[in-house]
Amino acid sequence: MTKDDSGKKHSETDRLPAKIKKAVWDHKIISLVILAFLLLAGYRLAVGYGTMLGPGAMHGRPGGQPVYVELGPATYGVMREVGLYYGSLTAAQSFTVAPRVGGELKKLLVDIGDRIESGQLLAQLDDDEYRLARDRAAHNVKLADAQYAEALANLDLAKSDMARQTSLTAKRIVTQSDYEAAENKLRQAEARLLVALSQLSGNKSQLDDAELRLSYTQVSAAWPEGGYRYVAERLVDEGMLLTANTPVVSIVSLDPLLVVVEVIEKDYPKIQVGQEAELRTEAWPGEVFRGRVVRVAPVLSASSRQARVELEVDNTDLRLKPGMFTEVVFIFKETGEVWSVPQDVPFRRAEGFVIFVADPETHTVKMVPVTLGLVDQGRVELVDAPPIDRPVVYLGQHLLENGQGYKLPDEAIRPRPEINSAESAAPDQSGADSAQSEK
């Protein structure tokens, strides 16, 4: 606010030109009209929505007017409580075969996928060096054997000489010194015999070692259970220079196979050794294989709260292979023929769970109290439910009351007929006349 020379107060708007003042007032009037229009449109929309849902719908309560719903059937059949897990097939026995000595790989006698027996020859190393070592050890054994024979003969001669000296000494024919010399020769002969025997034993051990190392150039695989195994992987090629314990091939057993799964704490008490399970694989869609629990870990992982469970799968036809992804289904409980509905159909009220059964003749619903049981693949069991031979409300049940009417989506409200163009033009004309008169 400002004061002029006469002392009167004026607003800043009063100082504006007349045209600008008129534009400001027109802008304010247009804003008020738009606000009023929006409020009226919102009110009409709210009233129309409440009418469609029924009385009380604007307050969150189902009304008495028909409610739009979707219907579906109740199913009668077997229900199962299951635990669904995923794992991979693994070989019950798997190992790699490696030579115990080094050398050039001369021959590789098997390849990927070959079936082998226990003790079968798989590969051969170049054995020239080991044959020479064996021959040297055999020669040393012969030499030590000859030395032993010589020491044994010398011992026999020393024993005869000692017996003669003993007899002559008793008759006082020889001196005591001659007797002691003969006794000393006997002891030396006995010692030489022991040395020869030790050398012979050592050379025989060296020969055994040389023959054993020579046999290691023939690489084979053996297992106590017998039966067949299969070559899973070839790890070297012929001509390669190998060191001791270099893996050559990996061997696996294919019958039976194992499946390893991690079971959560909730299902852990329900699984026992000997329990059967159903297995499915992507390689054989639609087929169900049988597995049997053979081992259950006695502890759960502190980090994951899961326990390791191993299942054995019969694979006589060898269609299953290690590494295949597997779906494992444990069946904890199975019912007889019972009624069931989708899991989200039963609706909790103060008195408990209920479902609404539709009467297609009267287009009304009947509220039926139910007790829920097993859940199987998104459906829930209705315990001791009577036969449900009519459709059940799948959607919209939270807006219903017992005996209330219902409508289906194909019975939706049709749009109102268009207003005649002549009639619609009249209000606009009157509005234009009034605006002209105001001017």
Q: What is the pLDDT of residues 246-287, one digit of tens each?
A: 999 999 999 899 999 999 999 999 999 999 999 999 999 989
pLDDT greater than 80 at residue 43: no
What does the pLDDT look like over 206-260, one tens digit per residue?
A: 999 999 999 999 999 888 887 889 999 999 999 999 999 999 999 999 989 999 9
Q: Is the CA virtual torsion 60, 65, 68, 69 positive or negative?
A: positive
Cα–Cα distances in angstroms (integers) from residue 65 to residues 44, 284, 349, 363, 398, in the given order:
19, 53, 20, 12, 14
pLDDT greater than 70 at residue 425: no
pTM: 0.57
Helices and strands counted in the chain (H then E): 4, 25
Cα–Cα distances in angstroms (integers) from residue 122 to residues 68, 223, 238, in the given order:
76, 14, 12
pLDDT greater than 70 at residue 10: no
The rounded percent of the chain whose pLDDT value lies above 90 is 44
What does the pLDDT look like over 372-420, one tens digit per residue?
A: 988 888 888 898 888 898 999 999 888 888 999 998 887 655 554 454 4
What does the pLDDT look like over 137-147, one tens digit per residue?
A: 999 999 988 88
* Region for 378 from its dihedrals, namely left if φ exceeds 0, alpha if ψ lies in -120 to 50, beta otherwise: left
Question: pLDDT value at position 349?
Answer: 85
For tokens 């980090």, the residue is 303
Query: CB of 335 within 8 A of CB of 374?
Result: yes
Q: How far apart (Å, rounded) are the C-alpha atoms in residues 109 and 124? A: 8
pLDDT greater than 60 at residue 110: yes
Instruction: Kindly state the average pLDDT of the residues 6-18.
Output: 53
Residue 102: exposed, middle, or buried by beta-carbon count in 10 A (0-12, 13-18, 19+)? middle
- pLDDT category at 15 given cuts 50, 70, 90 is low
Helix axes 128-170, 176-215, angle to 10 degrees: 160
Query: CB of 350 within 8 A of CB of 392?
Result: no
Lowest mean pLDDT, pick from 18-32, 77-91, 183-197: 18-32
Question: pLDDT value at position 218?
Answer: 92
Instruction: Tell me the two tokens of residue 348.
Output: 């909790």
Instruction: Tell me the two tokens of residue 390.
Output: 């009519």
Q: How far apart (Å, rounded) are the C-alpha atoms in residues 401 and 399? A: 7
Residue 241: its H or E element = strand 241-242
